[in-house]
């Protein structure tokens, strides 16, 4: 018999999870504060849509909370189910203790990936980090995660927090650097497309080099004259970010330069 799943949320993570579940699990309901969003996802997976927490089914087997971190506790506090149900959230930084004293079986299933509704990824390749409050819960979460991805790892809350920090550096901050690069190019009337071969080569090098080994540029070389020339062309946040990052790169590559 298929395990019955309720997904609380209809955004980026909820959409990717819902579309990745295989025949072993049956999504029976989607909740979102915005009914249109709930309906949009519910139509894709063939289930009921609701926008009131009082209407959330109380007899499902698994409940997945896939919302913003600050909304997780509110959902837990305003829903009830049987003691047999397994509850999960999908946050990297919210500890498992958010469920403590409020649910019997609970845990976390967090995807290390930048997910969006408009560009659904192949979840089979995404690394999922899981944690359960009991051996039974952990086993069930691992089984659930394995139905979505072939890359499932156990990780306590502290490790997930560090993984989340690392993800912000690798993805969110890196993307912001692309945005700043685009703004600089705009000033010269140039397209960001010029950067794409450079960015692709940079990422491809990480298949065979560590990030530190692949670092290039004036800061890695300790080329102070070029750095000062670049700084003279920048103002505001861009100037301060360039200065801070150049200093960090120079310190990180000091030993390599002195060999």
Predicted confidence (pLDDT) per residue in 206-230, tens digit: 999 999 999 999 999 999 999 999 9
DSSP output for 102-116: T-SEEEEEEE-S---
Distance CA 54, CA 5 (A): 17
pLDDT at 64: 97
pLDDT band of 150, cuts 50, 70, 90: very high
Predicted confidence (pLDDT) per residue in 39-87, tens digit: 999 999 999 999 999 999 999 999 999 999 999 999 999 998 888 999 9
What are the φ/ψ torsions at residue 113 (nearest 5 degrees)? Answer: -165, 150
Predicted confidence (pLDDT) per residue in 75-121, tens digit: 999 998 888 999 999 999 899 999 999 999 999 999 999 898 888 88
Structure tokens at 237: 């946040």
């Amino acid at each position: 018999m298929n395990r019955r799943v309720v997904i609380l949320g209809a955004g980026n993570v909820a959409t990717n999870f819902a579309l990745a579940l295989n025949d072993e699990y049956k999504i029976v309901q989607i909740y979102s504060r915005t009914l249109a969003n709930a309906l949009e996802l519910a139509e894709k997976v063939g289930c009921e849509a609701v926008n009131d927490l009082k209407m959330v089914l109380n007899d499902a087997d698994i409940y997945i909370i896939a919302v913003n971190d600050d909304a997780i506790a509110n959902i837990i506090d305003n829903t009830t189910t049987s003691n047999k149900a397994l509850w999960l959230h999908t946050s990297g930084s919210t500890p498992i203790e958010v469920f403590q004293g409020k649910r019997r079986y609970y845990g976390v299933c967090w995807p290390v990936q930048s997910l969006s509704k408009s560009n659904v990824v192949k979840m089979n390749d995404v690394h999922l980090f899981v944690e359960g409050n009991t051996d039974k819960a952990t086993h069930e979460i691992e089984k659930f995660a394995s139905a979505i991805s072939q890359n499932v790892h156990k990780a306590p809350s502290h490790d997930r927090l560090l993984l989340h920090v690392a993800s912000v550096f690798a993805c969110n901050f890196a993307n912001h650097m692309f945005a700043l690069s685009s703004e600089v190019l705009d000033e010269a009337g140039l397209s960001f497309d010029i950067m794409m071969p450079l960015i692709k080569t940079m990422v491809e090098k990480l298949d065979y080099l560590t990030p530190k080994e692949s670092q290039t540029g004036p800061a890695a070389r300790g080329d102070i004259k070029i750095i000062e020339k670049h700084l003279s062309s920048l103002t505001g946040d861009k100037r301060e970010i360039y200065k801070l990052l150049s200093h960090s790169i120079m310190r990180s590559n000091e030993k390599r330069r002195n060999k």
